[in-house]
Structure 1
Amino acid sequence: MATDTISSSGQDMFDEMTERIDTAVMSGKIPEEIKAKHKGFHEWNQEITSKNHQPIVQILIDGKDQNAVDNDGNVLPTLVYMAREKRPQHHHNFKAGAMNALIRVSSVISNSPIIMNVDCDMYSNNNDAVRDALCFFLDEEMGHKIGFVQYPQNYNNLSKNDIYGNSLHVINEVEMGGMDSLGGPLYIGTGCFHRREILCGRKFTKDYQEDWNAGIKDKLQESIDETEEKAKSLAACTYEHGTQWGDEIGVKYGCAVEDVITGLAIHCRGWESVYNNPKKPAFMGVGPTTLAQTILQHKRWSEGNLSIFLSKYNVFLFGHGKTKLRHQMGYHIYGLWAPNSLATLYYVIIPSLALLKGTPLFPEITSPWIAPFVYVFCVKTMYSLYEALSSGDTLKGWWNGQRMWLVKRITSYLFGVLDNLRKLLGLSKMNFVVSPKVSDEDESKRYEQEIMEFGSSDPEYVIIGTITLLNLVCLLGGLSKVMKVGWNNIHLDALFPQLILCGMVVITSIPFYEAMFLRKDKGRIPFPVTLASIGFVMLALLPAIV
């Protein structure tokens, strides 16, 4: 469960087996001596691929083997390799399908009452995390109510000032902790300890008591071969047909953020969750190191959360009478991420075009009616600054976060809205895109220097380039009018709020202007993207100059 409990020999065994399987899949050939030595290969042939193969379960380390010890002489826990069956004609349900297969296979190997879920790109960083989680489950007063214990998602590769706003500090330190008093935080898919029974659909009852010894004696009587054969049948792609797996049992299917919807179902069955955020992070992982990776990750998150909002699992409907209203509102912070893109697009386009044309959209700066706008702007800015600094961000990190606030809303969240509309219209189906976390040497060097990475002609960059150039042109055009006709004749009082708004967009967009016109490295915005952005800006300016 924790990386420091596995010896170098055990890790080597696992790595060697993984390498053998990957090599076999790529080459389609398995030497006879390897087939004879490793029973997991005896069914493999040249038709086997990563998307078309039978289930494989092999117990690499038997926890009952007293000879399997770590560097300190402690007996190692059971270590199992599992590859669930995959066939082209059967949908495998992405990560949720893998999780459910693991739940079933683990039930015949240990049947432990507690399941820990950690993503493949994360590792244990605090060996007290397991003990702390168990303390919550075993608490005499509240333990019987706890369905899962959630730890925050932390990254170990963030730049000093978090150039892409991936620290999740505000979510980890403020939002998730705030939900802890309302019924508990969301299940975020990693760094989480679940009760097996509850993850498999059990409803809360006041007299609930965990049977910590259930099934253990039976498992002690089985041989390794018997256990492996039984586990293989549970990892078959047809096992779930005609069952409630993926619906009432296990991790739910049909949503890109299967973790959130599964946690919601647990809360609606009456259970609470606990948020534990120790000073030493319990789990650490690898965060995105390029802008494209960040945009993709937030697109998947926002798209999935909006799909929940638009489905039968809408928290206000599905959770009505089952969870507190404030708890439901806490869920909707994330469910309404994507629609925020529409309001953001309005505020970064329409006021700027109106400024260029000399049309005021806000009350005059001397009017008392401007007070609500000034209040919202100032309070929002000061509070976000307070949240960031109190959560561990730097001042520059907060400013980078403001820039990424804009970027994510006009790209990731916008595409989240569009993809949901396509699904509602039947034009596309749900897919699960894994966020890549690997960068080449040049990209890594620019990331360490906190230089934003572009380097491709993605449509997201065209949107960013168009919005930033449009605001620059409108700001320069508005200022030129002021200088040309004078302060009094242009009604500066009425246009001043738009000047401020447009100016804020321009100031936060300085790295984008550099990437379009000044930088020469491979990570700059490609010239075709800049050219396309200029073309869209010219089209957008036509109504303003006519």
Structure 2
Amino acid sequence: MASPAPAGDAVYAANGGLTDPLLVSANGHGAAARKAGHGARGRYWVASDKAERRAAKESGGEDGRALLFRKYKVKGALLHPYRLLIIIRLVAVLAFFAWRIRHNKSDIMWFWTMSIVGDVWFGFSWLLNQLPKFNPVKTIPDLAALQRHFGYPDGGASRLPGIDVFVTTADPIDEPILYTMNCVLSILSVDYPVDRLACYLSDDSGALVLYEALAEVGKFAPLWVPFCRKYSIEPRAPESYFEHVAPPQAGRVTQEFLNDYRRVQMEYDEFKARLDNLPDAIRKRSDVYNSVRDAGGAQKATWMANGTQWPGTWIDPAENHRKGHHAPIAKVVLNHPSRGQHPITESNPSIATTDERLPMLVYVSREKNPGYDHNKKAGALNAQLRASALLSNAQLIINFDCDHYINNSQALSSAVCFMLDQRDGDNTAFVQFPQRFDNVDPTDRYGNHNRVFFDGTMLALNGLQGPSYLDIVTGFRIHGQGWRSMYCTMEHDAFCGVAPINLTERLHQIVRWSGGSLEMFFSHNNPFIGGRRIQPLQRVSYLNMTVYPVTSVFILIYALSPVMWLIPDEVYIQRPFTRYVVYLLVIIVMIHMIGWLEIKWAGVTWLDYWRNEQFFMIGSTSAYPMAVLHMAVNLLTKKGIHFRVTSKQTAADDNDKFADLYDFRWVPMLIPTMAVLICNVGAIGVALGKTVVYIGTWTAAKKMHAALGLLFNIWIMFLLYPFALAIMGRWAKRPIILVVLLPVVFALVALLYVGIHILLAGLIPF
């Protein structure tokens, strides 16, 4: 699907798509050009709003507003087989359940009963996940229409609504300052009317280093922002721009741009050096002030550059000046442009030819007291909301994580398209974008991109009341009042950020998310009873989002079942076993056929799909069971899940940007995953050993049953392959080691089994 072009450059193709490349300046200094047309992602989509647009054109718009986004649906040639296959699989699953209940024969009836419960739950959870996907819808903003109707008429002021951007950070250590400041710089330089934009940084740590870093942003921004505006720079976070965009070459760009580029790059390097030196500078400054004012054991305060004590947390914690206990702080770093200009330095006259004004920038740190529940991130947003109400009071708010930056300078305008559209604008409460990351390893070992969810499931929910994934409870309560949300897709990603590529940090993140989902289910926001104005299929999607961690309990039990290979006699969970396995294979193949059709219309790759399957298995044997355990403890003891900020710090290695990927950090939640891995490795080895011992006595049926069991073990091994690489640490840089090591382990286990059999022959029947 083609993306919207900058205002005035959009061209509508015959099929209704926008065909110009997005945000590519004529001088070539911006993002790389993209092909026109729909491309591979758009082959399976067709415009679904032609009648609406025709009616709006004929009537001129009922309320004078235009249609500001395009709607697309999946072509019938793909959608109808997709829906039909879902129905066929549903019938097959029901037939499978009926067959199992009629043939309630097993060597271990208690395990058969448990497997029936597990299979019913698998079928139920699959249905919850699949039903909301019957009508995927893609919505793309029309920036040209927005500019025509809400731009600058006759040189006057823009009629676009004001936007307050809320950036939240909790810790300058786990969330590196450089990431946060790049986030702020990208916001200040976004393509949106400067007098309609304000940025508020919430610092939950109350650390002086973050405030002074923001002050450094105020000094560098008057150079960076005009540079971005003049040359249409993309992306507008300097760290990402200088790292990922090829440096300009003399002769291929103007000398003016080359001079400005070198100047800005040099200033940015100095800016980073100042950020790195801030902790030491603050410490030395505070030591000097404290040595002068020391009065016999007085508390060692942290001092600001203007010679006053910092009201937030101190380097040496003290009463009312420690993390979790400090006074409120609100400081305006950059005033609103109407209250004064932010002049550019005289050493950069060429950049000064463009608009020098900057949006308002404010530092906020809410009061903290250990005697109160501060409601984590929600409380920080409330504090920002109160501060912004007094300073800018914009009509719209965007919530921003400090480890993300604006990757597409038209991102905010794109969101506004949905809020001002004449069809759904009055009913749209919020707009969401897919999460994208630029620090993930090329193979995406731990499924950080999660494109199956962001490019598949979210488009499906877009056909209902809209998606809700950043905060499920808030989305549920808003949808419950009858509002809808929109999902904005852009070929040139709107936002980009940093993901935890370390397995342990990634799993801690999953525990927090899935734990929050379970807490919602066991609250008054339960999808069964809450949200009286939520549509039925939207309610189904919320139910799925709140109970999915429970599935991991049954997956973990099944994944450990190969331990039965150690039992000398054959044990069958279901008889007749062959037909049981055939049923399972048919059902499993069908779910992957449905997945194949999904990745077609979602535009994701098989690697994305496979990584999603692998990480779900890893999470189902570690993070999800841990979340279920936490929830059980919470219900019994009323102690909630501890909020842990996901660390974005990476392992120190200047020669390897993915060094954190190979840093294995052992935590208790990984014990079940390790047990599953050992169990299946051992099962394969024992199976090989049994083959040697009993090859002459096994019937053809037993051989087939053994082969089917081995197929299950091998499938589990493939799913746990990323985990096996993780425990190898830096040896995982050579995956061939694992490929060689596993057969050796299988052979050793087989030899051990044969040896034990020989030693115990005649004593214990094998």
With the shorter chain as reference, the TM-score category is: 0.7 to 0.9
Query: In the superposition, relative to structure 1, how do residues 465 and 454 fare at CA in structure 2: closer, same or farther (>3 Å)?
Result: farther
Q: How does 1:205-284 map to 2 (within 5 A)?
A: 259-284=471-496
1:491 pairs with 702, 711, 731, which one? 702
Deviations 1:238-267 (A, max 9, x none): xxxxxxxxxxxxxxxxxxxxx211111111
Q: Whole-Å Cα distance in 2 between the matches of residues 43 and 381 of structure 1?
A: 54
1:62 pairs with 335, 338, 353, which one? 335
Residue in 1 aligned with 2:306?
37
> Is 1:150 aligned with 2:424?
no
Residue in 1 aligned with 2:207?
none
SS in 2 for 1:280: coil
Q: Whole-Å Cα distance in 2 between the matches of residues 354 and 504 of structure 1?
A: 16
SS in 1 for 2:330: strand
Q: Whole-Å Cα distance in 1 between the matches of residues 656 and 463 of structure 2?
A: 42
- Partner letter of residue 327 of structure 2? Q
Q: How many residues align structurally? A: 456
CA contact (8 A) 1:25 1:49 kept: no
Residue in 2 aligned with 1:373?
584
> Is 1:160 aligned with 2:437?
no
Residue in 2 aligned with 1:291?
503
Unpaired segments ≥5 residues, structure 2: 1-164, 166-183, 190-214, 222-270, 293-302, 345-350, 736-748, 754-763
Q: Whole-Å Cα distance in 2 between the matches of residues 294 and 43 of structure 1?
A: 31
Q: Cα offset for 1:457?
A: 3.0
Q: Cα offset for 1:114?
A: 0.3
Q: Cα offset for 1:101?
A: 0.6
> Is 1:410 aligned with 2:621?
yes
> Is 1:467 aligned with 2:676?
yes
SS in 2 for 1:175: helix
Q: Whole-Å Cα distance in 2 between the matches of residues 405 and 506 of structure 1?
A: 13
Residue in 1 aligned with 2:188?
6
- Partner letter of residue 303 of structure 1? G
Query: In the superposition, relative to structure 1, how do residues 26 and 500 fare at CA in structure 2: closer, same or farther (>3 Å)?
Result: farther
Deviations 1:458-498 (A, max 9, x none): 11332222110111111221233234323417623445443
TM-score when normalising by structure 2 = 0.53
Q: Whole-Å Cα distance in 2 between the matches of residues 472 and 43 of structure 1?
A: 54
Q: How does 1:14-29 map to 2 (within 5 A)?
A: none
Q: Whole-Å Cα distance in 1 between the matches of residues 512 and 654 of structure 2?
A: 23
Larger radius of gyration: 2
CA contact (8 A) 2:329 2:366 kept: yes
Q: Whole-Å Cα distance in 2 between the matches of residues 521 and 3 of structure 1?
A: 37
Relative to structure 2, which stretch is displaced further, 506-515 or 58-67? 506-515
Query: In the superposition, relative to structure 1, how do residues 417 and 447 fare at CA in structure 2: closer, same or farther (>3 Å)?
Result: same
Q: Whole-Å Cα distance in 2 between the matches of residues 159 and 518 of structure 1?
A: 15
Relative to structure 2, which stretch is displaced further, 330-339 or 17-26? 17-26
1:302 pairs with 514, 518, 521, which one? 514
Q: How does 1:389-404 map to 2 (within 5 A)?
A: 391=602, 394-404=605-615
Residue in 1 aligned with 2:372?
90
1:53 pairs with 320, 323, 326, which one? 326
Q: Whole-Å Cα distance in 1 between the matches of residues 589 and 504 of structure 2?
A: 31
Q: Whole-Å Cα distance in 2 between the matches of residues 279 and 302 of structure 1?
A: 29
Query: In the superposition, relative to structure 1, how do residues 432 and 28 fare at CA in structure 2: closer, same or farther (>3 Å)?
Result: farther
State the identity %. Answer: 26
Unpaired segments ≥5 residues, structure 1: 189-258, 525-533, 539-543
Q: Cα offset for 1:35?
A: 5.4
Q: Cα offset for 1:90?
A: 2.3
Query: In the superposition, relative to structure 1, how do residues 23 and 494 fare at CA in structure 2: closer, same or farther (>3 Å)?
Result: same
Q: Cα offset for 1:430?
A: 3.7
Residue in 2 aligned with 1:324?
535
Q: How does 1:323-472 map to 2 (within 5 A)?
A: 323-353=534-564, 357=568, 358-362=570-574, 366-367=578-579, 369-385=580-596, 387=598, 391=602, 394-426=605-637, 428-442=639-653, 445=656, 447=658, 453=662, 455-472=664-681
Q: Cα offset for 1:141?
A: 2.5
- Partner letter of residue 417 of structure 1? V
Q: Whole-Å Cα distance in 1 between the matches of residues 507 and 311 of structure 2?
A: 43
Q: Cα offset for 1:19?
A: 8.3
Q: Cα offset for 1:38?
A: 7.1
Query: In the superposition, relative to structure 1, how do residues 443 and 354 fare at CA in structure 2: closer, same or farther (>3 Å)?
Result: farther
2:712 pairs with 501, 509, 529, which one? 501
Q: Cα offset for 1:338?
A: 1.2
- Partner letter of residue 6 of structure 1? L
Residue in 2 aligned with 1:217?
none
Q: Whole-Å Cα distance in 1 between the matches of residues 481 and 386 of structure 2?
A: 21
SS in 2 for 1:176: helix
Q: Whole-Å Cα distance in 2 between the matches of residues 441 and 20 of structure 1?
A: 19
Residue in 2 aligned with 1:78?
360
Q: Cα offset for 1:121?
A: 0.7
- Partner letter of residue 326 of structure 2? H
Deviations 1:137-171 (A, max 9, x none): 11122211111111111111122121011112011
Q: Whole-Å Cα distance in 2 between the matches of residues 83 and 27 of structure 1?
A: 22
Deviations 1:200-247 (A, max 9, x none): xxxxxxxxxxxxxxxxxxxxxxxxxxxxxxxxxxxxxxxxxxxxxxxx
SS in 2 for 1:318: coil
Query: In the superposition, relative to structure 1, how do residues 151 and 520 fare at CA in structure 2: closer, same or farther (>3 Å)?
Result: closer
- Partner letter of residue 387 of structure 2? V
CA contact (8 A) 1:154 1:284 kept: yes
Relative to structure 2, which stretch is displaced further, 292-301 or 83-92? 83-92
- Partner letter of residue 472 of structure 2? V
Q: Whole-Å Cα distance in 2 between the matches of residues 347 and 372 of structure 1?
A: 16
> Is 1:119 aligned with 2:331?
no
- Partner letter of residue 322 of structure 1? R
CA contact (8 A) 1:36 1:42 kept: no
Q: Whole-Å Cα distance in 1 between the matches of residues 431 and 275 of structure 2?
A: 32
Q: Whole-Å Cα distance in 1 between the matches of residues 439 and 421 of structure 2?
A: 35
Relative to structure 2, which stretch is displaced further, 6-15 or 408-417? 6-15
Q: Whole-Å Cα distance in 2 between the matches of residues 337 and 545 of structure 1?
A: 43
